Each structure stands twice: as C-alpha cells, then as structure tokens.
Amino acid sequence: MKRLSVYAGEHLVGCLNEDGGNGMSFVYSSHWLANPEAIPLSPELPLADQVFRGDLVTAFFENLLPEGDVLEFISKAAHISSGNIFGLLERFGGDTAGAFSILPEGMRPSDQPHYLPVTPESILQWFDRSRGIPLDLSGEQARMSLSGAQDKMTVFIDANGDISIPLGAAPSSHIIKPSLQHRHDIPNTAINEAMIMMLAHHSKLDVAEVRYAAELGAVVIRRYDRETGPGGRLRRLHQNDLCQVLGIPSGKKYESEGGPSLKTCFETVLAHSTQPALDKKRLIEWVIFNVLVDNMDGHAKNLSLITIGKRTRLAPFYDLVCTTVYPNLSQKLAFKIGGENRPRWLLLRHWDRFAEEIAAKPQFVHKTMTDMIQRVESALPNTVTMLRSTISKPDEWLMIEQIQERVRTSAVQMKTRMKNSG
Ligand SMILES: Nc1ncnc2c1ncn2[C@@H]1O[C@H](COP(=O)(O)OP(=O)(O)OP(=O)(O)O)[C@@H](O)[C@H]1O
Ligand SMILES: [Mg+2]
C-alpha cells in the first residue's frame, strides 16, 4: 500500500493511504492528536483516532488540485490520470492552499526551505509551455498545487521583489495569474481581476492584496494564508474553501450543479466563525459587491475560512472579476439571490427574500446596499487612475473603460430598483 505524509510545518499531521481502486483513507498521527495546537484538515475530518474513508476524504484532497483544462494538462504531462487524486498529490501536493504540505512517504519538509531564483522571461515561458507549472526542472521538483480552472504559478517574492520558485515542501508567498492564453474570446482577464480586486480594496472590503505586473501580463496576488515568522521564514496558515468545509467535491462548487446555496454558505460561515456578526456583514457585502461589479462567478470555492490560532474567520476575498464583459461566459449569477440569478432582474423583493433566507433584517440589507453603492462609486475613479499608471496597451485600457462603464451602470440600476420598489 502506498502512503503520502501530510505535514503542517515540520509536524506530521497524518497519512493518506492508497487503498486500491481509486479509494483513499486518512489517519491522523498520534503525535498530531497529542499536539495541543493541532487543527483538523477540515470540520468533516475532525481530530480523532480513527480511519477516515470515502467521499469526505476524497473531497478534502481533491479540492486542493487544479480543475478543468489545467488538471487535464498536468495529468497528461506527468503521466497520471486526471482522476488519480492520490497520484497527482504525490507529485504536486508540496505547496497547497492552507497549512498542509503533502509529500511522498519518507520525504520530510527540509529545515531550510529551498527556492530557485527565476527571471520574468522564464516565468513567461512556463506559462507558454506548461500552464505555469515548472515541469522541466532538473534536480529537486516544484510541487505546487492550487485549485481553480485558470493557469497560475505559486512563487516566493522577497522584499526586493525578486521572484523564486518553491521546491519540495517550501511555501510560496504569492500567486501569479496571467490572462487566459487559451481562450481568445476571454481577453485581458488579469487586468480585469486586478481592477476589481483593487476596487474592492478601495471600497473597504477585506481582499487579498494584488498588483498588476505589466511585464508578466499577470495579476500578482499576495497569499493571505502565509505569514512571516521568526527569522523571516514563511509560515503556512490553515484555510478551507467552502467546498472543503462542507465536504463536497469541486464539481459541486456551483449552486446550479447541486452545490450549496447562499443560505447554506451563510449558515456554514456563521457556524464556524469566531466573529459571526462581523463575518455575516462581510459576506452580505461580498454578495452585493459581486452584483455591483457584474461578477457572475462568485461560487463556493471563491469563499474560504481561515484559522489563525484559535480564531476562525471568513478569509479575505479573492478571484473577483467582472465576468459579463465576456459574452461567452455565463450571464447568470453563480448563486441565486432571493430565488433570482439574472442580475438585471434583481428587484428589492429578491433582496428581501435573501434577507429572510439568511436571517437578516431587510432594512439592514438595504442599508448595506446603499452603503456599498456609495463606497464603490466613490472608489471607482481612484482605482482607474491608479491602474492607468501601470498599463501601456490600448486593449488593456479599453477593458478598464468597459468595466468602469458596467460598474457605473449597475450601481445606477441598483439605486433605481431600490427607490422604485421601496
Ligand atoms: N490570495 C490568496 N491567498 C491564499 N489562497 C488563495 C488566494 N487566492 C486564491 N487562493 C486559493 O487558490 C484557489 C484558486 O484561486 P482562484 O480562485 O483565484 O483561481 P481560479 O482559477 O480563478 O478559480 P476559478 O475556477 O474560480 O476560476 C482558491 O480557491 C483559494 O483556495
Ligand atoms: Mg476561483
């Protein structure tokens, strides 16, 4: 029987066993169970001296792997079938979302994490050749795995801005996400994401810090699940996306595929947060913000919980994009709001139904909507001015203008609907 070791820093958390077929089981180590600071992999896999098997184990680990085309690409390249979660994590699970590092049995995280300095040119080549995954290193391997359907590379960026690739179990500090290269009908996604994330930040939402790197044609995102510890060493923080919290596979991240509804997401966040009232407000703001910026792709894997010490909170927001500028992407919201997922059909009564579903006062939701509209409208000009200084290409500029227009229109529409039905 083959085994993988799951580490948190230098601590052995447990072993993932390949049980035959595509079955896997997970067992916590006695050392981890005896550690007063131990955290479980997810709420569905609580700290206990037992063998965990079946869908809950599969869902937790599968949610750490890339999805869609990227999964297909790396599977082919590594000669591992795309359904072989165990095999893919054996090869790529060294640096994942959250606290855990997954390594072949017998391999331990090194006391001195190893990094390979790289140039912007080589990063561009890896995006051209292998979806941002450095597959052709000689010697120690890059073992990086993040979920999502878009190309991305996890890197370490030091105080001087120098970039290197984590090797083995070394942690990354940033994510580099270029515009989609294989979909010409969906251009300039990096500038789009940079703009919406910066707009969210200037609208006083708690979001991951981003910058647009014109030389890479990519958005560079600081990881909120890493912190600098003593001696400048990076420490991993525990996070679960909402599919992991609920123990469901990434294939159910959309409500329309049988995934969780907004009501379930609110209940889940509130059940685990140590600041439920504050996180409820933040989550309401996220729902409203997504409508204001025309982001139809706010699904259950685009929300996470982060645990620092004994505190669990809704994580900073990430992956915010104005998706309706691309006619080939869905024009419906990932989550229904009060039973409606067509953004232009959202009336005050839908928001009131949403308030009822999440056990909030309708007046509180209205007030938050008015407040968010005002915050977004006043943040918009500043955000555009700041981005303007980082770009030089006319098509990127056009994208920014187009998004600006959409956000302005949807803010006016939300205001009008609130007045007319109120
Ligand atoms: N700033 C961040 N810090 C830590 N983890 C992050 C951060 N941004 C993203 N992640 C993790 O990486 C995963 C993938 O990121 P992201 O959602 O940006 O990718 P994507 O390919 O655009 O996803 P999608 O399939 O929704 O389009 C997230 O689900 C989250 O677990
Ligand atoms: Mg995402």
Q: Is residue 247 located within the same domain as residue 373?
A: yes
| 3-class SS string, 332-357 | CCCCCECCECCHHHCCHHHHHHHHHH
For the chain, give the number of residues: 422
Is 8 a residue whose pLDDT tops 90?
A: yes
- 247 pLDDT band (50/70/90 cuts)? very high
The CA 108 to ligand 1 mean position distance, Å, reads 26
**Considering the domain boundaries, does residue 346 fall inside one?**
yes
The residue contributing the CA closest to ligand 1 atom 24 is 148
Q: What are the residues whose beta carbons fall under 8 Å from the beta carbon of 389, sequence distance 6 or more?
A: none
- 266-283 pLDDT, tens digit each: 999 999 999 999 999 999
Q: In terms of DSSP bridges, do strands 100-104 and 218-222 run parallel, antiparallel, or are they unpaired? A: unpaired
CA of 108 to the centre of ligand 2 (A): 30
**Which of 85, 104, 123 is the endpoint of a domain?**
104
CA distances from 340 to 334, 354, 355, 360 (A): 10, 10, 13, 18
Which of 174, 175, 189, 333 to probe ligand 1 with, by most ligand atoms within 8 A of CB?
A: 175
Q: Is 301 in the pocket of ligand 1 (CB under 6 A)?
A: yes
- Ligand 1 neighbour 273 (Cβ under 6 A): no
Structural domain range at position 19: 3-104
Which residue do the tokens 């080939």 mark?
Answer: 328
- Looking at the fold, whether 269 and 133 belong to one and the same domain comes out as no
Any ligand 1 atom below 6 A from CB of 340: no
Q: Residue 422 has what pLDDT? A: 47
Rounded Cα distance, 259 and 256, in Å? 7
- In the reported structure, the alpha carbon of residue 148 is separated from the centroid of ligand 1 by a whole-number distance in angstroms of 6
201 plus 319 within the same structural domain: no
Q: Is the pLDDT of residue 161 over 60?
A: yes
Inter-residue contact 244 to 60 (CB < 8 Å):
yes
What's the total number of domains in the chain? 3
CATH of the domain at 149: 3.30.200
Q: Residue range 246-258: average pLDDT?
A: 97
Decide if 232 is inside a domain. Answer: no
Domain end call among 79, 104, 129? 104
Q: Is 136 a catalytic residue?
A: no
Judgement on whether residues 212 and 77 belong to the same structural domain of the protein: no
* Rounded Cα gap, residues 299 and 329, in angstroms: 14
Looking at the structure, tell me whether residues 132 and 257 fall in a common domain.
no
pLDDT per residue over 349-391, tens digit each?
A: 999 999 999 999 999 999 999 999 999 999 999 999 999 989 8
Is residue 233 included in any domain, yes or no? no
pLDDT reported for residue 244: 98
Both tokens of 359, joined, read 């056990």
Single out the residue of 292, 301, 360, 370 nearest to residue 334, CA to CA: 301
Residue 325 lies in a domain: yes
- 128 shares a domain with 171: yes
Beta strands per DSSP E along 55-181 = 100-104, 115-117, 153-157, 163-166, 174-178
- What are the tens digits of pLDDT across the range 79-91? 999 999 999 999 9
Q: For residue 317, give the ligand nearest its CA.
A: 1
Cα–Cα dist 241/239, whole Å:
7
Cross-strand bridge partners of residue 163:
157
Instruction: Answer yes or no: are the C-beta atoms of 153 and 127 closer than 8 Å.
Output: yes
Cβ 146 under 6 angstroms from ligand 1: yes
Q: Is the CB of 175 under 6 A from ligand 1?
A: yes
Distance 301 CA to ligand 2 centre (A): 6
Residues 301, 267 share a domain = yes
Structure token digits, residue 397: 């500029």
Q: Report which bound ligand comes closest to the CA of 208.
A: 1
Do 270 and 383 lie in one domain? The reply is: yes
Does ligand 1 come within 6 angstroms of the Cβ of 318? Answer: yes
Ligand 1 atom nearest residue 209's Cα: 1
Total-model pTM: 0.97
Residue 16 covered by a domain = yes
Report the mean per-residue pLDDT for the chain: 96
Cα-to-centroid distance, 27 and ligand 1 (Å):
27
Strand segments, DSSP code E, in 179-331 are 210-213, 218-222, 226-228, 234-236, 238-241, 304-308, 311-314
Q: Whose CA is nearest to atom 17 of ligand 1?
A: 319
Of 151, 241, 279, 297, which is the active-site residue? 297
Q: Which residue out of 152, 299, 319, 326 has the highest number of ligand 1 atoms within 8 Å of its CB and is therefore the one to mutate?
A: 319
Share of the chain above pLDDT 90, in %: 93
Residue nearest to atom 2 of ligand 1 (CA): 223
The secondary structure of 37-87 as a DSSP string is T---SBTTB-S-SS-EESHHHHHHHHTTS--HHHHHHHHHHHT--TT-HHH
Considering every ligand atom shown, identify the ligand nearest to the alpha carbon of residue 241 and give its number: 1
Question: CATH number, domain at 334?
Answer: 1.10.1070
Kindly state whether residues 217 and 243 are assigned to the same domain.
no
Q: Can you name the residues that pair with 27 across neighbouring β-strands?
A: 15
Q: Is 334 in the pocket of ligand 1 (CB under 6 A)?
A: no
Query: What is the structure's pLDDT at 421?
Result: 65
Q: Is 317 near ligand 1, meaning CB less than 6 Å away?
A: no
pLDDT at 420 over 80: no
219 has pLDDT over 70? yes
In DSSP terms, 235 is beta-bridged to 227
Mutate to test the pocket of ligand 1, among 206, 318, 329 (most ligand atoms within 8 A of CB): 318
Residue closest via CA to ligand 1's atom 3 equals: 223
Q: Is the CB of 304 under 6 A from ligand 1?
A: yes
Please check whether residues 119 and 21 belong to one and the same domain. no
**Ligand 2 center to residue 192 CA distance, Å?**
14
| Shared domain check, 413 and 278 | yes
pLDDT at residue 260, as a whole number: 98
Q: Give domain status of residue 273, yes or no.
A: yes
Residue 265 has pLDDT above 70, yes or no: yes
pLDDT for 115 beyond 50: yes
- Residues 207/380, Cβ–Cβ less than 8 Å: no
Contact 150, 92 (CB under 8 A): no
**Strand 52-53, strand 23-28: pairing:** antiparallel
- Residue 152 sits at φ, ψ, to 5 deg, of -160, 155
What's the pLDDT tens digit per position in 164-183?
999 999 999 999 999 998 88
Strands (E), 252-379: 304-308, 311-314
Contacts for 37 with CB less than 8 Å, ≥ 6 apart: none
Q: Evaluate whether residue 155 is within a structural domain.
A: yes
Tell whether 400 and 253 lie within a shared domain: yes
Give Rg (Cα) of the chain.
21
Q: Is the shortest distance between the CB of 253 and ligand 1 below 6 Å?
A: no
Of 164, 198, 222, which residue is a domain's last?
222
Output the pLDDT for position 181. Answer: 84
Residue 109 lies in a domain: no
Bigger pLDDT: 108 or 181?
Answer: 108
Q: Is the CB of 148 under 6 A from ligand 1?
A: yes
